[in-house]
Structure formats: structure tokens, C-alpha cells
Amino acid sequence: FKVEILPVIKLISCLFVHAFFVAIMFIVFLVSGKRPQISWIQIIYYSFAASMYALALTYLTSAIQVFFKDMAQIVSICLQFGMWLTPIMYDEAIFTSLKLNPFYYIAAGYRDSMLTGDWFFMRPTLTVYFWAVTLITMLVGLKVFKRLRPHFSDVL
């Protein structure tokens, strides 16, 4: 599969914003008296994992959005709904069945890295599940993007 550059450029520009907020998170932890831990280095891994999943979703949805103009609103609603299904606003023990949401892995990973010091390989099943979902989404997204690309100029 040939990787298209526009979704990658958009991802890279969003990574700058993400890096800014990660830096703020580190500063807040340090100012509040939390000592740096070696597990904080995992933030790089989890940022990469989130980027790959976001890129996979971008390939899939951006190709469809050219033909189906309401796709942006659908994606926005799904992202909002998905945000409430990740353990960001609540303790993950409340809803143990929501681990099917791939972003659960990212949210729990950030939490583990910064608070508990647990490593990503301590959740092997979840790691394999996340990367399998990401790979399948990426392959489907690239295939759809490649198949629809010749028609972009006709529609736009």
C-alpha cells in the first residue's frame, strides 16, 4: 500500500499540539510534588500508538467524507461518544466491559505511565488487541482510500 501524505501531515501538525499538552502535564506533575519516574518514557510509546490509530481512522473516514459530506458530523458525534466510553473522566474499575474501545488502551496507558508506574507489557492481551484493531483499521482504511482516490477529482 502506498501511504498518502495529506493525512500524515495533518497528524504531524496535531502531534505538536499534543506535545505541548504533554509538556504541561509533566510540569503539573512536577509542580505538584510528583517525582519523575522511568515509566514516564512510555508516553512516547502511547503517543505513537494513539497516532497510528488516529491515522488509520483518518484514512478510512477522509476517503468516505469526500462522497458523504455528513461524515464529518458523524465522526464528531462518534468521537464525543467514544470519549465518554474511555476511562478519562472516571475510574476504569467502574466499567470493565469497555476495554473493547481501542482508546481505553491509550487512556489506561497514560494513567499507568504517570500514576502507577506500570509498563505496557504488563497488559499483554490488551496490547495485542489494540494493535490488531489498529492494523485491521489501517489496512481497511488504506484499501478504501486507494480504491476511492481516483474519483476524488471528479467529486471535488
The three cell numbers of residue 45 are 510509546
User: Would you state the pLDDT for residue 65?
Assistant: 80
What is this structure's pTM?
0.81
**Can you point out the beta strands (E) in the chain?**
none
Q: Is 79 exposed, middle or buried (0-12, 13-18, 19+ CB in 10 A)?
A: exposed
Q: What is the 8-class DSSP label of residue 33?
A: T
The three cell numbers of residue 104 are 481505553
User: Would you state the pLDDT for residue 27?
Assistant: 94
pLDDT band at residue 156, thresholds of 50, 70 and 90?
low
C-alpha distances in angstroms, 148 versus 29, 94, 97, 128, 143?
46, 42, 35, 30, 9
| pLDDT tens per residue across span 39-49 | 999 999 999 99
Q: What is the 8-class DSSP label of residue 36?
A: P
| pLDDT tens per residue across span 93-117 | 766 666 778 888 998 899 889 988 8
Higher pLDDT, 138 or 2: 138
Cα–Cα distance between 116 and 83 in angstroms, integer? 22
Of 26, 71, 29, 57, give the one whose Cα is nearest residue 44: 26
